[in-house]
Amino acid sequence: MKFFFEKNHYFHHKNTFDPKDLEAKSEENWSISAITFYLLIDFRLMHKKILMQFFNSLGKYPSGECIKCIPAINSARRILIVNIIIMTIIMWATNSIALSLLYLIAPFTGTLCNKILAKSQHHGLENKKR
C-alpha cells in the first residue's frame, strides 16, 4: 500500500495552487447530519474510496483518465485482492458476513478528526495561488 501511496501522491498534489486544485477550494459539508456521519460511518468517503480502488485496479482514475504507471496499477490490484482475501477469510473463519463487512466499514468510522486535520492542513491554500 505504501508503494501505491508514494507513486500516486504526486497526482494528489499535482494541481496544488492551480485553478484546477479541487482540494484547496474544497468545502466539506459541515452540516449537523454530515458531522453525525463523520462521527459514525462516512458512507460518502467509503463509496469514493471503494470506487477509486476498483477503477485504479482497472488502470483508470474514476474520471476515466488512464493511469500510466504500471507498478501503481499492479499495486492497486494487489491491494484489492488482499482485501478480498482478508474479507473471505474473516467470513470463512467466523461464518459471519457481519464481521466481514465490519472489516470493510471500519476505516470509514469516526472520520471527524481526519476531516478536521485535512481541512486545517489545506486551510488558506486558496489564497496562496499564483
Name the 3-class secondary structure at 122: coil
Sequence-distant (≥ 6) Cβ neighbours of residue 11 within 8 angstroms: none
3-state helix, strand, coil in the chain (%, to 5): 65, 5, 30
Q: How far from 129 is each of 17, 19, 28, 107, 119, CA to CA, in Å?
A: 4, 8, 20, 33, 17
| pLDDT tens-place string over residues 65-120 | 888 888 888 888 998 999 999 999 999 999 999 999 999 999 899 999 988 887 77
Write down the mean pLDDT value for the chain. Answer: 79
Mean pLDDT of 17-46: 77
Q: What is the mean pLDDT of residues 10-18?
A: 60
pTM of the model: 0.65
Taking residues 56-64, report their average pLDDT.
85
pLDDT of 2: 43
**Cα–Cα distance, 34 to 112 (Å, whole number):** 9
Higher pLDDT, 47 or 11: 47
User: What is the C-alpha separation between 31 and 36, in angstroms, rounded?
Assistant: 9
SS3 66: strand
